[in-house]
Amino acid sequence: MAKRVVAESYGGPEVLSLVDVDVPAPGPGEVTLRVKAVGVNPVDYKLYGGAFGDDPSALPMPVGQELAGVVTAVGEDAEGPGGPVSAGDEVIAFPVSGAYATEVTVPASQVVPKPPGMSWETAAGLLLTGATAVHALAVVGVSQGETILVHGASGGVGLMAVQLAVAVGAKVVGTASEQRRELVQRYGATAVVYGAGLEERVRAAAPDGVNAAVDTAGTPEAVDVSLSLVPEPSRIVSVLAFDRADTGIKLIGNAPGADPGTKIRGEAWRDLVPLARVGKVEVVVARTYPLSEAAEAHRFLAEGHPGGKVVLLP
């Protein structure tokens, strides 16, 4: 028997339960994983919170989409994007259903090699925020020598976007709270504090102008400042400001009308894993919780400004 976190109904974190489940043996093209760490993301609680619908047939709802673990069993023809998968392999799995667990059986197509030497906690937080950041930068087409503005630069997606933009040779200006400025600057960005006067502070930090913007904050300030600074609205992308489509900015994610970027996100590991292997991309873990405290982890994340990834440890 394995342990799994499920949402028994739609609502807040109080609807989560830790239950016993049987883990099926892997069938053709599947692998079973012993979970070592689980990445926690806002979409996890938005799903059982009803943000994308409240179909009762989806209950009890398994929670979680990304994890790192060890392969314990393989089915026939178990081959992942990185090649054949074998028992004992250390891997990252994304996107999966029900990652909040001690053991899972998943399609091998969702499993990629974990970078050697990368901790379980950081590996578990690499692919969801990383894939979102890869998608965002691809949409706005950031290239070497350009200046990019990243709103919410100290968050999970924001920190990834900062590092990926720096890796291609862009200059990055990142918005953050006063408490998170040092964190943002550690990864090569010029940090500016959000709030009144933000546009002027960004102009001072980027006197030659801003070519593109990635908004991971979703605030009116983030969109309005970006529109004032970036000459082409199509080079502004937001993962949250879905009510601002009429401004001409690009929207990505799961909301109606947004670009889900299924193909580019599915292939993002090909960029992220090699960069993580050589230390050009790091996952900042803000806090860890035992699997049994998933509800508390969600409450902490929902407060905002975690300063990195939240991770569950089975």
Phi, psi (5° rounding) for residue 50?
A: 95, 10
d(CA 174, CA 188): 10
**Domain boundaries along the sequence of the chain:** 2-126+283-313, 128-262
> The pTM is what?
0.94
Q: Judge contact between 251 and 121, C-beta under 8 A.
A: no
Give the pLDDT band of residue 306 (cuts 50, 70, 90). confident
Q: Collapse the DSSP code of 151 into the 3-class scheme (helix H, G, I; strand E, B; otherwise coil) and give the result.
A: strand
From CA 215, how far away is CA 238, in angstroms rounded? 4
Rounded CA-CA distance 41/310 in Å is 8
Rounded distance between C-alpha atoms, residue 267 and residue 187, angstroms: 24
Query: Given a cut of 90, is residue 307 above it in pLDDT?
Result: no
pLDDT tens digit sequence for 18-38: 999 999 999 999 999 999 999
Q: Decide yes or no: CATH 3.40.50.1820 for domain 2-126+283-313.
A: no
**Residues 138-151, mean pLDDT to the nearest whole number:** 97
pLDDT given for residue 254 in this prediction:
84
Around 63, how many Cα atoms within 13 Å sit in the side-chain half-sphere?
36
CB 45 within 8 A of CB 302: yes
Q: What is the pLDDT of residue 304?
A: 79
Over residues 242-297, the pLDDT tens digits come to 999 999 999 999 888 899 999 999 999 999 999 999 999 999 999 999 999 999 99
Pick the CATH number of 128-262 from 3.40.640.10, 3.40.50.300, 3.40.50.720, 3.40.50.1820: 3.40.50.720
Instruction: For residue 222, name the pLDDT band (cuts at 50, 70, 90).
Output: very high
- Within 126-233, strands assigned E span 147-151, 171-176, 190-193, 212-215
pLDDT band at 138 (very low <50, low <70, confident <90, very high): very high
DSSP structure class, residue 217: S
pLDDT at 308 over 90: no
